[in-house]
Amino acid sequence: MLKKFFVFLFIALCGVGVFAKSSTPTEAEISDFIVNARDCNKNSVQSFLKKYPNYVDVKNEYEDSGNTALINATSQGHTDIVSLLLKAKSDVNVNMEKVYEA
């Protein structure tokens, strides 16, 4: 009986993601996230953050700028996106070395 309980518990926990591996966004998803922050697409930004909460400060390494979503949203004056990213614990001190390379 106890063995069945632990098997059931393990399956239940796997189903809610406790033991599931954290997924990683694709290059396209990262690029879209950065662009959506720049273009003030709030629903798309929220969807990305819900799916990939640990990638709030991901840089757009696939383009020359290397910007984060926070940098893009801030530079465009999208205060609602900036607030959303800050609530998701975006780091305001992320290094922007790629932005200023010669």
Q: Which residues of the chain, if any, have pLDDT below 70?
A: 1-22, 60-65, 95-102
Q: What distance separates the 2 farthest-apart alpha carbons in the chain?
A: 67
Which pLDDT belongs to residue 99? 39
pTM, entire model:
0.69
Q: Which residue, among 68, 64, 80, has the nearest Cα to 35 in the 3D structure?
A: 68
Which pLDDT belongs to residue 58? 87
Provide the H-helix boundaries in the chain.
2-15, 27-38, 42-51, 69-75, 79-87
In order of their start, the domains of the chain are 24-92 (1.25.40.20)
Amino acid in position 13: L
